[in-house]
Structure 1
Amino acid sequence: MNREEKKTVLAAVCGAALFLLIQSLHITLKGTFERNTLSALYLVASWCTSVFGFAIFAQGWLLFSNQLSRGRLYSSALFLGVCVFDLLHTLGFVGVPFIKSIISEDRSLWLLTFSRLASSIGILAIFGKEDTPMLVSGKNSVLRKSIILVALSLVIFSAGCYFLPGIVSPAKADFAMKLLNFFVLIVFLLAIAIIVYTKRMVKSSSLLIIIRSLVFLTLGQAFYMSMGGGMNIALMLGTVSSAVAYYLLLTGVYRLTIEEPFNEKHEIEAQINYLVYHDDLTGLPNRRRLLQCVDEMIQSHRTSAIRGFSALVVLNINHFKNINDSLGHYAGDRLLQLVAQRIKEASQHGEELFSMGGDEFAFLMTDRVGLDSCLLRSRELLQLFEKPVDLESGEYHISLSLGISVYPGDGETAEQLIQNADAAVHNAKEQGVDIRRYVPLMQMKAAERLKMENDLRRALERDEFYLEYQPQVQLSTKELVGMEALLRWQHPKRGLVSPVEFIPVAEESGLIVPIGEWVLTTACRQNKEWQTAGYRPICVSVNLSMRQFLQPNLAGKIGEFLKRIGLDPCYVDLEITESMTLDKEKAFEQLKRLKELGVFISIDDFGTGYSSLHYLKNMPIDRLKIDRSFVSEVMEDSNNAAIVSTITSMAHHLKLKVTAEGVENEDQLQFLRQQRCHEAQGYFFSKPVRAQEFENIFLKSATFGMPS
């Protein structure tokens, strides 16, 4: 229970206790002085009631007219009439000349009853519903209606005072007043109950103030019902309770319809402003805020007499896409939060961390004494991740690449410094190093990379890609048993672009998915054409990218395509890398769906990744391909020879085929045959060739002249 709720409960308890105390004491007035004193107090309380009632009207009608709400407008109209009735009651009851001749003491009590009746029903109708905004143009209409209603009520009251005394006896009139007062009490209690019940989940402080005002109105009504006739303590306390209630209602309506909406608007604006300059996931300042801070840093350097250095470091999480794609976006988001938290906790004075979006962060260091200090601090950031990051699925070792731009020297504006640091981090990733400081040549490479991405987007449309095929030979029989489809790009101006150059760009930009689909469909269609031409069927191997492999509908798309062209799935070998099996459960489900099609599955470049042997034995795969880096030095490096021997032995025990890549000479071939390697491919047999050349050389003669 908060403070305002405690106040409300305390008001109700104290009010009930005061009423019971007064009723039990039976206080009576014994002298003229006491009567005069009580009359004076009553007059002050009555005037306060009228003043507060008029203030409620003025607050809603005359002030803040551009912020109208239904609650404020109708409560203003209500209390215009209520304060008129209260004022006439006061003037008649205290015996003001002229008024007394029109409104006697008895009639003034009827005015008081009508005033309480109007306020009880009005408050119930207004605050028992949700408040809604209203147009300012409707304000005058409500004012006219309220004035007409007040005037009509006074006419009816005057007519009743003139005609009823001759028709209704005083006893019946007294009973009717008591019955009406009891009804008013019930309405006040009902209003409290409805407001408390309908707003039971969330009650603002303003609504609690309105509830307290209803408590005091109920207390005042109870005093009025017990006062009997004439001036007495109950009448005075009832009027005081009404004055307190009107003041609370004035405060509550102001807070509910003006102050709280105003504060809420400011809170929303503050939240919007926060979101504009902060990253929603990590809570870090974003790129927009970074631009402001770097601008401020540059201005500080230009105006300060102290000549130091400031550095902007862009940090990129290595292989984040693999982690995000393999473990899921939730794990990727959690990783970003943990990385941000670790760096932020290690930040020192004059340092601030920013989110650049995606898997990139920016770290701003100001007022450094030298370049060595900037580089040293950058290396300390890398050391923060020597310990693994703890995700729900386990602990993972991650690494960062850093790009640095230094002011002064590496840019004159905030945008230049950020772009140059970003170019430096991409260069670091390309070169496989941890840290790179910006040099102008990097910007040229970044521009070249962007141009290559744009050219890649048009390459499919312009039919610039083609496939080459490299034969795969069974070592025991010397027969051609398969071929690997390899992508090539013939650029109209650059000429032949190496896959080493354009494949990373395609993967980073997401273009690898449509390009990979083109490779798969083209290779399968070519294989079917050769089978239709009468050549012996062989298997075609196609590499899948990470993005392709993680498509939920991959198996369905491949199955539908193979069925359409009429190629048996057993003549398709899909090659994946070990990194694609990082999320074991997701990889297993995808492989299971692919195997149900009838295709073969190979793990390419085996030995360079981080597959778990425990999961490898359960994976629905058919073949391991030994990476060319082990085969190329198998005769010179005993470690490589041991790795190749171990992989082939393990494959035999797991009943998997094993294929060696990159075979270039006869010695390597003999070694692989001794290790009982099933198949091989490489320049010793043939370099990758175009489809027509592959058909002429290999399909018409499916064996190779190899030494026994």
Structure 2
Amino acid sequence: MKSEQKKTVWTVAGGAVLFLLILTLHPALNRAGDIGAMSALYIIAGWLASALGFAIFAQGWLLFSSQLSKGRLYTSALFLGVCVFDLLHTLGFVGTPFISHLISRDQSLWLLTLSRLVSSFGILFIFGGEVSSTLVSAKNSVLRRALLLTAVTLAAALSVFYMFSEALNSDAGGGIRTFLNVAALMLYLLTIGFIVYPRNVEKSSSLLIVIRSLVFLALSQAFYILGEEQGAVDLLLGAFSCVVAYYLMLKGVYRLTIEEPFFEERAVKEQINHLAYHDDLTGLPNRRRLLQQVDEMIARHAASSLRGYSALSVLNINHFKNINDSLGHVAGDSMLQTVALRIGEDIVHGEELFSMGGDEFAFLMTDRVSVESCMTRSRELLQMFDKPIELDSSEYHISLSLGISIYPGDGETAEQMVQNADTAVHSAKEQGVDIRRYTPLMQMKAKEKLKLENDLRRALERNEFYLVYQPQIQLSTRKLVGMEALLRWQHPKRGLVSPAEFIPIAEESGMIVPLGEWVLKTACRQNKEWQNAGYRPICVSVNLSLRQFMQPNLAGKIEEFLEEIGLDPRFVDLEITESMTLDKEKAFEQLQRLKDIGVYISIDDFGTGYSSLHYLKNMPIDRLKIDRSFVSEVLEDSNNAAIVSTITSMAHHLKLKVTAEGVENEDQLQFLRQQHCHEGQGYFFSKPIEAQEFENAFLRSALYGMPS
């Protein structure tokens, strides 16, 4: 582009210098000129100009007919007429037999003036504005109009020549012709101004070539004007300037209307193709490209007689969702880019990194000598992240899980290899290990998990869920003060499915939201039924999932169905986990909305997650529930005893209630009473039991508050 700009500047400067030089040497050139030689050169220049004009027309009609623009069609039509006028002018001017009887020398000069005037108006019209596209079907109609206009103009011009020949050949006629030639010159210069100045953007190389063509057209026109007064040398120089101008116009129009659209279309296709096979965020090849590469790898193995191994590793960033939620999506995107860059910098021949979307990457390694070398390289990938990642001037330690499938052995197609490696990485995450190689047993478990998910989606409609209740006991009096509602699933074929098995699946699939709503509504209805039966009112505790808690309309929905049931909100205790408070601002707003409707808030499994005195002090919560893992070994492990004692003491100072989970024997109970723990819950008092058994065992018992 810069070279084209330099050429354009040099063309303008050179044209101006040439014109001034000719003016200076004009008398000597006229004396030295040979009329016969000049006529021959003039004919040559005229034929060249006409040929180039026809070439401009031809390229617009014959090349790449599927890529048309109005500028291209109009330019072609314009130069079809111009080349006819130029050819007739040349033949008439040099006195060609037969033509000279129809067109005299003076009339040929009028044809030249007419040609320049038409071309200057046409070029101004075409290049003075924006070029738009047109339909291919419009091509023939434009050609017909151009031919008709050329014929009508030529016939009209010849008629005028014969009717007013004396007036046109007079001094007044010469003055008019000079005026029209000057007008054409001004229009050429005006077109240059329209191209250069109105749009403050960098000009394409094609437009710069068109500008150079216009410079030579203006120079040619200046020589023609000079030739009217001073002689044939100027006309000859004007003719050859016109040849250069037409050549540049041919080249510029070709680039502008044919070559540039072609390359732009190809660039767009390449961009679309790149987007189809690459991840937009990291720039890495995507899953579609990965499948192609694995297919090629399998084909090479099949065609080769050499023995070797190739492997596909799928890497997943652990706890990426928590990172994304706590630091924000911008930081999450930056982390993905950093991970991609760190692995990418260590890639050697025979390896390639891919993005699988989200927080997953795939690493393909080929031509390995053994299975162990594949496993060793995979371990090296994980070791890259022993060093922390820097984000926003802070360092963060992350870990990755990796699943690997090795060919041959772990799949026969690209889809199988990718699926099996993905299955292996999810197995690694579930097992809490860094790396797992695919085994068929994993696939069986994955299918079983999928079937369980499908059954889970239908279980709510089929009323396969039910609630059990575990009592919460005041430790100082051993009286019932509350109960926790817990979900159970009675599968028609599998029998009782453990919550530890189906709750994670419900969370992954999103089923946890409707399930959580069902649990909350069912527990509240049961509590209201017991109150209506005359039992002393107690509080029912219900766990909220993260997805439930993040619903912006959660408080409104709870308030609505509590009004519908008729249950006072003070008999509802919502349990959340510490991880739900990572985003302090959102958590505080949600908790405040819940507190405004009158329910209680408890932090469940306290001490196992993101503990912060800051959120305990500021957030609207009522109770801490000490996790069972601390209570179960409180007498055997002094550290656990210290933790329980510290949590209890801290809660008292913050005026929060404390409930200990997992109480299993009298000794644990006594220790908790010594620490002034308010309430306890566990098998020592009762396992979770169904509603009717809970009513019989606790609500009817005088010991636990049965009214007289």
| TM-score between the two structures when normalised by the length of structure 2 | 0.94
1:489 is matched with which residue? 489
Q: Where do residues 432-581 of structure 1 align in structure 2 (5 Å cutoff)? A: 432-581=432-581
The whole-number CA distance in structure 2 between the counterparts of 1:38 and 1:511 is 93
Superimposed CA distance per residue, residues 578-598 of structure 1 (whole angstroms, 9 cap, x where no aligned partner): 222223333333333333333
Residue 292 of structure 1 is matched in structure 2 by 292
Provide the residue aligned with 1:63 in structure 2.
Answer: 63
Kindly indicate whether residue 606 of structure 2 is the aligned counterpart of residue 597 of structure 1: no
Of the structure 1 ranges 19-28 and 450-459, higher mean CA displacement relative to structure 2 is found in 19-28
| Counterpart contact for 1:71–1:131, Cα < 8 Å | yes
Query: SS where residue 247 of structure 1 aligns?
Result: helix
1:321-343 deviation per Cα after TM superposition (whole angstroms, max 9, x unaligned): 33334444333333322222222
Query: Match for 1:125: what amino acid?
Result: F
Residue 29 of structure 1 contacts residue 232 of structure 1 at CA under 8 Å; is this kept in 2?
A: no
Secondary structure of the structure 2 residue equivalent to 1:285: coil
Distance in structure 2 (CA, Å) of the matches to 1:30 and 1:176: 25
Preserved CA contact (<8 Å) 2:309 2:371: yes
How far has the Cα of 1:445 moved from its partner? 0.4
Aligned pair in 2 of structure 1 residues 639, 149: CA closer, same or farther (>3 Å)?
Answer: same
Structure 2 CA distance, aligned partners of 1:565 and 1:389? 51
Which residue of 2 is the match for residue 396 of structure 1?
A: 396
Among all aligned residue pairs of Structure 1 and Structure 2, give the percentage whose two residues are the same amino acid. 73
Partner in structure 2 of residue 410 of structure 1: 410
Measured in 2, the distance between the counterparts of 1:291 and 1:324 equals: 28
CA deviations 1:395-432 (Å, max 9, x no partner) are 43222111122222222222222222222222211211
CA contact (8 A) 2:402 2:435 kept: yes
Alignment of 1:120-139 (within 5 A): 120-139=120-139
Shift of 1:469: 1.8
Aligned to 1:235: 235
Residue type matched to 1:472 in 2? Q
Following superposition, the deviation at residue 498 of structure 1 comes to 0.5
The answer to whether 1:656 aligns with 2:635 is: no
Residues 279-322 of structure 1, C-alpha deviations (whole Å, 9 max, x = no match): 22222222222222222222323333432222221212222233
Q: Secondary structure at the match of 2:243?
A: helix
Whole-angstrom distance in 1 between the partners of 2:367 and 2:342: 23
Change (3 A) 1:536 1:122: farther
Residue 137 of structure 2: SS of its match in structure 1?
helix
The amino acid across from 1:171 in the alignment is D
1:691 matched to 2:691: yes
Q: 1:445 to 1:692 in 2, by over 3 A?
A: same
Indicate if the aligned counterparts of 2:30 and 2:233 stay in contact, CA closer than 8 A.
Answer: no
Once the two structures are superposed, the pairs formed by residues 168-247 of structure 1 within 5 Å of their partners are 170-229=170-229, 231-247=231-247
Tell me the CA shift for residue 278 of structure 1. 1.7
CA distance change for structure 1 residues 618 and 171 in 2, over 3 Å: closer, same or farther? same
Query: More deviation in 169-178 or 460-469?
Result: 169-178
Q: Is the 8 A contact 2:604 2:625 kept in 1?
A: yes
Partner Cα separation in structure 2 for residue 194 and residue 556 of structure 1: 63
Alignment gaps of 5+ in structure 1: none
Measure how far apart 1:27 and its partner are: 4.2
Q: Which moved more, 1:387-396 or 1:618-627?
A: 387-396
CA distance in 2, matches of 1:21, 1:622: 98
Which shows bigger deviation, 492-501 or 584-593? 584-593
* Whole-angstrom distance in 1 between the partners of 2:168 and 2:40: 33
- Whether the aligned pair in 2 keeps the contact of 1:28 and 1:233 (CA below 8 Å) is no
Stretch moving more, 489-498 or 380-389: 380-389
Distance (Å, rounded) in 2 between the aligned partners of 1:389 and 1:522: 46
2:200 alignment partner AA = R
Structure 1 range deviating more: 647-656 or 45-54? 647-656
Measure how far apart 1:168 and its partner are: 6.1
Name the CA distance, whole Å, in 1 between partners of 2:135 and 2:613.
Answer: 72
Q: Residue 83 of structure 2 corresponds to which residue in structure 1?
A: 83
Q: Deviations over 1:427-474 (max 9, x none)?
A: 211211111122221111011011111111112222222222222222
- The residue that corresponds to 1:586 in the other structure is 586
- The 5 Å alignment of 1:251-330 reads 251-330=251-330
Q: In 2 relative to 1, CA 13–689 (structure 1 residues): closer, same or farther, beyond 3 Å?
A: farther
The 1-side partners of 2:24 and 2:244 are apart by 23
Flag the 1:409–1:599 CA change in 2: closer, same or farther, 3 A.
same
1:158 Cα deviation from its structure 2 partner: 1.1
Distance 1:188 1:555 in 2: 74
Q: Retained in 2: the 8 A contact 1:351–1:365?
A: yes
Name the stretch that deviates more: 532-541 or 399-408. 532-541
Paired amino acid for 1:559 = E
Q: Gaps (5+ residues) in structure 2? A: none
Deviation digits for residues 68-96 of structure 1 (CA, Å, limit 9, x no counterpart) = 32222121111110000111111111221
Paired amino acid for 2:222 = A
Question: Does structure 2 retain, via aligned residues, the 8 Å contact 1:326–1:581?
Answer: no
State the one-letter code of the partner of 1:482: G
CA distance in structure 1 between the aligned counterparts of 2:564 and 2:236, rounded to whole angstroms: 96
What is the DSSP-based 3-state SS (H/G/I as helix, E as strand, rest coil) of the residue aligned with 1:352? strand
- Structure 2 residue 5 is the aligned partner of structure 1 residue 10: no
Q: Distance in 1 between matches of 2:298 and 2:644?
A: 56
Cα displacement (A) at 1:167: 5.1
Q: Which residue of 2 aligns with 1:643?
A: 643
Cα gap change, 1:196 to 1:457, in 2 (>3 Å): farther
Change in Cα spacing, 1:134 to 1:22, as seen in structure 2 (3 Å) is same
- What residue number does 2:386 align with? 386
- Aligned residue number for residue 620 of structure 2: 620
How many residues end up aligned between the 2 structures?
705
Q: Which amino acid aligns with 2:50?
A: S
For 1:344 and 1:105, the matched residues in 2 are separated by 76
1:163 match: 163
Q: What is the alpha-carbon root mean square deviation over aligned residues?
A: 2.4
Partner of 2:669: 669
Q: TM-score, normalised by structure 1?
A: 0.94
- The one-letter amino acid of 1:470's match is Q
Judge conservation of contact 1:326–1:580 (CA < 8 Å) in 2: no
Of residues 668-677 and 522-531 in structure 1, the stretch that sits farther from structure 2 once superposed is 522-531
- Mapping 1:369-384, distance limit 5 Å: 369-384=369-384
User: What whole-Å deviation, never above 9, does each CA across 1:225-273 have from its counterpart, x for those lacking one?
Assistant: 3333464333233222222221111112111221122112222222222
Distance in 2 (CA, whole Å) between partners of 1:393 and 1:455 is 47
Cα distance in 2 for residues equivalent to 1:301 and 1:106: 83
With over 3 angstroms needed to count, the CA separation of the structure-2 counterparts of 1:658 and 1:397, relative to structure 1, is farther
